[in-house]
Amino acid sequence: MTKSDLQSARVRIRPGEQSDLPAITRLYNHYVVETHVTFDTAPLTVSEREPWFLQFDSDGHHRLWVACDEAQILGYCTSTALKAKPAYDASVEVSVYLQPDVQRRGIGTALYERLFSHLPGAHRCYALIALPNDASIALHARFGFREMGTMTEAGHKLGRYWDVLWMERNVS
C-alpha cells in the first residue's frame, strides 16, 4: 500500500493516546492467545497495560504510534527500552502489531516509517522475532535490519519451544 493508498483508505498514523489503550490491549491479546509471536502467555487487562503505556513520550525515543481509520485501531508500533540499565539508554527494541485482516497492506511499513523518523537520541534499534515469522523478517530487512543471531528454544508457549531471531539496525 503506497502513501496515496493509505490516504485514500483514510488511514492515519498518529501518536498513541490513553484512550487507545483498550483497543491496543485487545489487539495485543489476540497475539497472546492465538500466536507464538509474543511470549506473554495469558491475556492482559487494560489496567495491567497502563504501566507499559506510561513509558512512551512525545519527544524522546520511547514512542507509540497507532494506525487508525475512522472506525478502529488497525495496528501500532513501539520503541521501548532494550534493557533497564543506563548504558542501554540509546538502544531501543521495536515491534509492530497489526489487525490480522489488514496485514500486507503497507500499514506496518507506514508505522515503521513514522517511528524511525521520530527517534531522537536513539543509536540502535533491535527487533526480537519469534520464529518462524517470514513477514516480520522481511519487514525489518526492508528497514535495514540485519540478522545478528538466533536464540534457540528461548521461549515456551503453545506446547513447544520457539527460537528467537535478533535483528539490529543503526539509527544515528
Average confidence score pLDDT of the chain:
93
Q: Is residue 141 part of a domain?
A: no
Residue 118, domain member (yes or no): yes
The CA distance from 85 to 82, in Å, is 9
Mean local confidence (pLDDT), 134-151: 97
Please give the Cα distance from 169 to 172 (Å, whole number): 10
120 lies in a domain?
yes
Whether 156 is covered by a domain: the verdict is: no
Residue in 125, 106, 105 with CA at minimum distance from that of residue 115: 125
Look up residue 54 and give its DSSP letter.
H
The answer to whether position 166 is within a domain reads: no
- Report residue 6's pLDDT band, with 50, 70 and 90 as the boundaries: low
d(CA 167, CA 153): 17
Tell whether the model's pLDDT for residue 7 goes beyond 50: no
* Overall number of domains in the chain: 1
Domain span at residue 34 reads: 3-126
For residues 81 and 60, the answer to whether their CB atoms sit within 8 Å is no
Tell me the average pLDDT across 64-69: 97
Tens-place pLDDT, residues 87-124: 999 999 999 999 998 888 899 999 999 999 999 889 99
What is the Cα–Cα distance from 95 to 65, expressed in whole angstroms?
A: 11
CATH of the domain at 62: 3.40.630.30
Whether 106 maps to a domain, the answer reads yes
Instruction: Give CA–CA dist 166/127, Å, rounded.
Output: 6
Inform me whether the pLDDT recorded for 56 exceeds 70.
Answer: yes
The string of pLDDT tens digits covering residues 143-154 is 999 999 999 999
Q: Does residue 152 fall inside a structural domain?
A: no
- Render pLDDT for 26-54 as a digit per residue (tens, 0 to 9): 999 999 999 999 999 999 999 999 999 99
Please state, in angstroms and rounded to a whole number, the distance separating the CA atoms of residues 38 and 29.
10
In a domain, 7, yes or no: yes
